[in-house]
Amino acid sequence: EFEVSVNHGLQDNGFPKHLNTMSMVAPPVSALAPISVEPSQSQSQAQSQSRSQCGGVTCNRCMRRLCSQFQSIHLGKRVYQCNPPETLSVDSPTVFVATIPQGRAWIAPQSSYWKICHSIAIITPDDYLLSDVSRNYPWYLPGCENYDPRKHLIFSLEQMPPLEYIDGTVAVLSGLSGHGYYHWMFDVLPRIEILRRSGIDFPKIDWFLINTPQQPFQQETLNWLGIPANKIISSDRYPHIQAQELVLPSFPGHFDWVPKGTINFLRQRFLPQTLELRYPERIYITRAQARHRQVLNETEVKELLSQFGFITIALESLSVREQVALFASVKAIVAPHGAGLSNTVFCRPGTQIIELVSPNYVRTDYWMISQQLGLKHYYLKGENFDCQPIRKLMYTSSLTEDILVNLDYLYSVIQITGLNQLCSRVHNQ
């Protein structure tokens, strides 16, 4: 166990005084000088009004702006093909590692299946929030003009949880929604690689603060990357800490925008260790075990796809090693939008992806991977729900909407992609 003491080095109310940003330099960094950000009242009011019109990561306006970069071609019947340029206009931020003596971390714990980690705040010993390594929902999509770190959730909290002091060096790895497969793979694990590349001596890190690794994929990948289980501190159990020294690898890139460095890291670390097994060339990924974004007429969808050699796969039944090997082997994937498509990062160039999406939730998350790896990415919009009041009652957010697939349109995209030709390989049990 680590040493714990309450209310170490805090002001009376436990809150950061005001907001600052950090000046970034190449890693490693021993200390960072906060720079005060104090806009005029009129600027602040204008930004607040503008921000109220932005839905963060679910903002349709911002997402349309990002989608336009991929120059999708409408092939008819709700079928689209991504046709992105070689270079997109969103630049990835520079990665870094910072160390903060007596730094604090407040990481909102998971309180239910849906209420996962929604806020991260890193605070200096003199109570400044470091915005570069702090995030909260609703976060901002790349290039959003409404970005305003003064709106961080920590400034609206009525009470901070008790502070627990850790006598040692703590590396902060937790990410927003870090309990989910997508954000674990693209936001949490890359921070380990950023640490490693900074030259920091891993044995000198006493603890790793991370979203509770209770799921098999979390435990497997941490072991794969050499993070000892006995050095892990759960940020769900200890949401508010102060350490003798905080080590802060930056986030690997913009939220929900996978950078090239992250893709390279995952492929370099995981692909060489894939299993030598035979897998089907064509797979359909089911979300039958998911709570949201299911395919409503999945029985009919699977029946149609099976005629063209598609095998239904429940990724929850596979280890990460098996998932990597599967996606490195397949030639065609049909799947509803969901975390399972994170594994397209392991696909070979030319692999065909058909993504099934709600017409109200079209995202660039996996288009980004396809653009960088040379995958052929198509997406098929599901049917609209005619009665909007009922839709709003059924789904609290477009993020949760289920998908109703038009079978004629699905058959159309199968023809367009040439997948109506039977594949050469069958599943080997």
- Residue 36, pLDDT score: 31
- Residue 324, pLDDT score: 96
Domain range for 304: 274-416
Q: Which two tokens mark 331?
A: 């030639």
C-alpha 206/C-alpha 410 separation (Å) is: 52
Q: Are 261 and 278 in the same domain? A: no
301 burial level (CB within 10 Å; 0-12, 13-18, 19+): buried
pLDDT tens string for the chain (429 positions)?
Answer: 433 333 333 344 444 443 333 432 222 232 333 333 233 333 344 444 444 567 777 788 888 898 999 999 999 989 999 998 888 878 788 899 999 999 999 999 977 665 688 999 999 998 899 999 999 988 888 888 887 888 888 888 888 889 999 999 999 999 999 999 999 999 999 999 999 999 999 999 999 999 999 999 999 999 999 999 999 999 999 999 999 999 999 999 998 899 999 999 999 999 987 777 788 999 999 999 888 889 999 999 999 999 999 999 999 999 999 999 999 999 999 999 999 999 999 999 999 999 999 998 899 999 999 999 999 999 999 998 766 666 666 767 777 789 999 999 999 999 999 999 865 544 433
Q: What is the number of residues in the chain?
A: 429
**Pairing of the two strands 73-76 and 135-136:** unpaired
pTM (2 decimals)?
0.85
Last residue within a domain, chosen from 221, 242, 265? 265
Q: Are 126 and 42 in the same domain? A: yes
Q: Are 278 and 258 in the same domain? A: no
Q: Are 188 and 332 in the same domain? A: no
Q: Are 301 and 211 in the same domain? A: no
DSSP string, 340-407: GGGGGGGPPTT-EEEEEEBTTB---HHHHHHHHHT-EEEEEE-PPPS-HHHHHHH-SSGGG--B---H
**Pairing of the two strands 240-249 and 104-107:** antiparallel
Q: How many secondary structure helices (H) and strands (E) does the chain include?
A: 11, 18
Last residue within a domain, chosen from 265, 299, 326? 265
Q: Are 134 and 32 in the same domain? A: yes
SS (HEC) of 122-170: EECCCCEEEHHHCEECCCCCCCCCCCCHHHCHHHHCCCCCCCEEEEEEE
Q: Is residue 115 part of a domain?
A: yes
Number of domains in the chain: 2
Q: Is residue 65 part of a domain?
A: no
C-alpha 249/C-alpha 268 separation (Å) is: 20
**Residue type at 21?**
T
Q: Are 49 and 162 in the same domain? A: yes
Q: Are 156 and 108 in contact (CB under 8 A)?
A: no
Q: At what angle do helices 407-416 and 298-306 cross, to 10 degrees?
A: 30
**Residue type at 110?**
Q
Q: Are 295 and 382 in the same domain? A: yes
CA 242 to chain centre: 26
Strand order in the sheet with 352-357: 73-76, 79-81, 376-381, 352-357, 332-336, 282-285, 311-313
C-alpha 55/C-alpha 68 separation (Å) is: 18
Q: At what angle do helices 260-270 and 365-373 cross, to 10 degrees?
A: 70
- Residue 24, pLDDT score: 29
Q: Are 228 and 374 in the same domain? A: no
Last residue within a domain, chosen from 265, 289, 312? 265
Q: Are 35 and 114 in the same domain? A: yes
Q: Is residue 337 part of a domain?
A: yes
Q: Are 203 and 312 in the same domain? A: no
Q: How many CA atoms lie within 13 A of 69 on its CB side?
A: 19
Q: Are 387 and 278 in contact (CB under 8 A)?
A: no
- Residue 87, pLDDT score: 83
Q: Are 263 and 191 in contact (CB under 8 A)?
A: no
C-alpha 211/C-alpha 335 separation (Å) is: 27
Q: Are 196 and 284 in the same domain? A: no
